[in-house]
Structure 1
């Protein structure tokens, strides 16, 4: 347990600080504080009947509320508790006095707070121009999602605070606001080296603090750009999503390949008015084409050391459908670039949309279909070959399926001969082939009629169907009188 009066020292230091004008604001995403139910294992706030139990190792600094009414407290081996100037801790007897706590365990255990890194973009919120609106723009490069060299940094202290400053050799920002009050860089450097600072800011004893008040070209100058980019990408590359396009792009400052369009406008000088002017032109064009809800964009300077250029990034808010590419082609054809004093532009697009999971889905469909076919033929094989010696079904299952597949089947074959007029249906002979008919089934069908009138032949009553092999059924030929011809007399007459 570390006991300090650093909070009072902070208040004395803050009395002489002036507000420095900066461009935009980055806010550290704070952990839940002491008065948040999500900070406690039970999900409830402690009450007067509870004992507060800290984790054995608590590597954060947490600000206690003004008044705490509890039965007891178990402190951690390390960490820091910040008391407010008029704060107090009241230890009660633990008697309920008719009051019931939400948590009946009578022990309130505080959750362990993780230490998060300064270079991780997921730990920062971009408050656009101090308006209090959280900006969530996928077109913004990762290196610009952490505090830029001339931005105001807000670090709330209401929650458990533990920031990792390893690899941060130079902390270059516009201004640091600690718990709502602006502090000087000298105070921050002394705090880093103190015992309390080691709890709040890990590995920060050698970190130098620089306040950059002037305008600059880009989020970070070229002397720290590549070092910052490498450290930021260490925290992002492992969670990059696979782009759904054939030729993804990687803009400067981005750690992941994305789908969209990027344009580099080479300029001779770094004029801050160019970014504002170009942003307004893109916003106006999006409004004209009614694409404000579909696309996100970002315009910024990039100071890479060799050359300075304006970087324009346009991406879809949802799935990539080439809307960003079509928009930028139209924008490039309609805008006049003369006022930017630039004749060199580089255009990069992501090509056609592509679903990287399409092949996997097709393979799963093929494998599933093949498996279904194999199961179907396996069932047929087992039922029609019960004595296969490979797979034997239980007797009850085999009998049910066997009766289904081996049900009685009657096939009737008819000769295509029509019945004579007046013949009855009994004269039609039916050749019946019967397979595996059980005795019970045979008894049920005995005595039933197995003949019927064939409607295809009753309209032409000329012959009998299936005539019997006797003399009466043979056709009768009529006798005709023959004429004798004497050929010799005819020949003599001719001669």
Structure 2
């Protein structure tokens, strides 16, 4: 339930969310095909030509392989990945220019259209939009904004330095002429924006919006997860490495105690862990959503802390089922257990085989060698009760300087133990 300040409040527990500023930033991702004139990403033989003046920043994400750049005279380029210049031998890539178009038209519910200090890596895309407690700012630059279909509540709305209320904003949108800012009415010929001060009276908290809208993920660039079995929490456009927990709450849920539990356990693991506590993006949702991920390289700690929190949640805080999901090990360590087992297995087999061959199956192996100009042979034999002599027989014959026989140390010993009967053939 939401409560408005123009009513009288008596003996109500009021949860006031900390106000934050959410700014309109038209999508300027370098990695989106629809941001180019021909609708395709540039390849390694092409030169990327950016507009002479950029009204918004362009973000270069992930690994980029292009022939070169023609940079703007004014503007900002944010590098969040690796850029490689020059022909990489890519197939089906022809020389030429790829023209980047600064498409300044975005929808209210478009992923990446807003920025705020309250957003972190664990914030769902469905909550990277203005919430009922936010201050919304539109810049004084050239853009087109398509307004939301369902009514969205904000605390403050500003265009440049000027503030607007619900009605004054509608009037301005209806009468705007020759302005750089172009706001497009929704299908109901309404702004879909309500400007008012509102607080939450639920002990367990309130969703970001009373009327959540479906996030438009069509222009969201998703990087390749660096873990086995990545997860996709509700409200996310992309799969991520980490974990999340969902459970339905009632009036007995103590949100403050839950937040303290999460903060304590996350802080005890690592400083690069971030989390977000909210609700699933469903109208009048009472399903709490906790997301924990890692900023930077994925190590698996976020999955571990989700597992620990899952076991520590008070049974009285939720009703029905509580579900926890978390990703697997980092790709860099994936299959290490299996690889170690296979390696040890083959080492053991090799050692046992060597011992077996040495004692029982080792054949006679002769290897030629040179010794100060004298040619000879090494003979390797299995162990026996007799001492094996590798000295050449003094009375052995030679052919071309190479001795043709060795003394058999077993011959005399066998003759000593075996009676050999000689038969005389009489004529």
Give the TM-score taking structure 2 as reference length.
0.51
Q: Structure 1 residue 246: deviation in Å?
A: 5.2
Query: Which consecutive unaligned segments of at least 5 residues does structure 1 have?
Result: 1-20, 46-110, 129-134, 360-413, 415-451, 468-495
Residue 151 (structure 1) aligns with: 134
Q: Structure 1 residue 191: deviation in Å?
A: 1.5
Residue 115 (structure 2) aligns with: 125
Deviations 1:183-206 (A, max 9, x none): 222221111112437751242372
Residue 419 (structure 2) aligns with: none
Q: Structure 1 residue 144: deviation in Å?
A: 0.4
**For 2:173, which of 174, 181, 192 is the aligned residue?**
192
Report matched runs for 1:23-422 at 5 Å.
23-29=19-25, 38-39=53-54, 43-44=72-73, 113-117=102-106, 118-128=108-118, 135=119, 137-157=120-140, 160-165=141-146, 168=149, 170-196=151-177, 199-204=180-185, 206-208=189-191, 209-216=193-200, 217-221=206-210, 224-225=211-212, 228-229=213-214, 231-236=215-220, 239-245=221-227, 247-269=229-251, 274=255, 276-289=256-269, 291-293=270-272, 295-302=273-280, 304-305=282-283, 307-334=285-312, 336=314, 338=316, 341-353=317-329, 355=331
Q: Structure 1 residue 462: deviation in Å?
A: 5.9
Q: Relative to 1, partners in 2 of residues 1:260 and 1:187: Cα closer, same or farther, differing over 3 Å?
A: same
Q: Structure 1 residue 463: deviation in Å?
A: 8.0
Structure ranking higher in strand proportion: 2
Q: Relative to 1, partners in 2 of residues 1:162 and 1:171: Cα closer, same or farther, differing over 3 Å?
A: farther
Provide the aligned length of Structure 1 versus Structure 2. Answer: 265
CA contact (8 A) 1:248 1:349 kept: no
Deviations 1:354-389 (A, max 9, x none): 759x99xxxxxxxxxxxxxxxxxxxxxxxxxxxxxx
Q: Structure 1 residue 311: deviation in Å?
A: 1.0
Q: Relative to 1, partners in 2 of residues 1:169 and 1:327: Cα closer, same or farther, differing over 3 Å?
A: closer
- Give the greater-gyration-radius structure (CA): 1
Q: Structure 1 residue 140: deviation in Å?
A: 0.8
Q: Relative to 1, partners in 2 of residues 1:235 and 1:465: Cα closer, same or farther, differing over 3 Å?
A: closer
Q: Structure 1 residue 156: deviation in Å?
A: 2.3
CA distance in 2, matches of 1:193, 1:296: 42
Structure ranking higher in helix proportion: 1
CA contact (8 A) 1:245 1:350 kept: no
Q: Structure 1 residue 285: deviation in Å?
A: 1.8
SS of structure 1 residue aligned to 2:237: coil
CA distance in 2, matches of 1:463, 1:263: 86
CA contact (8 A) 1:245 1:259 kept: yes
Deviations 1:90-115 (A, max 9, x none): xxxxxxxxxxxxxxxxxxxxx97532
Report matched runs for 1:470-489 at 5 Å.
none
Q: Relative to 1, partners in 2 of residues 1:328 and 1:466: Cα closer, same or farther, differing over 3 Å?
A: closer
SS of structure 2 residue aligned to 1:215: strand
CA contact (8 A) 1:248 1:259 kept: yes
CA distance in 1, matches of 2:73, 2:327: 52
RMSD after superposition: 4.2
Q: Relative to 1, partners in 2 of residues 1:23 and 1:278: Cα closer, same or farther, differing over 3 Å?
A: farther
Q: Relative to 1, partners in 2 of residues 1:43 and 1:334: Cα closer, same or farther, differing over 3 Å?
A: closer
SS of structure 1 residue aligned to 2:132: coil
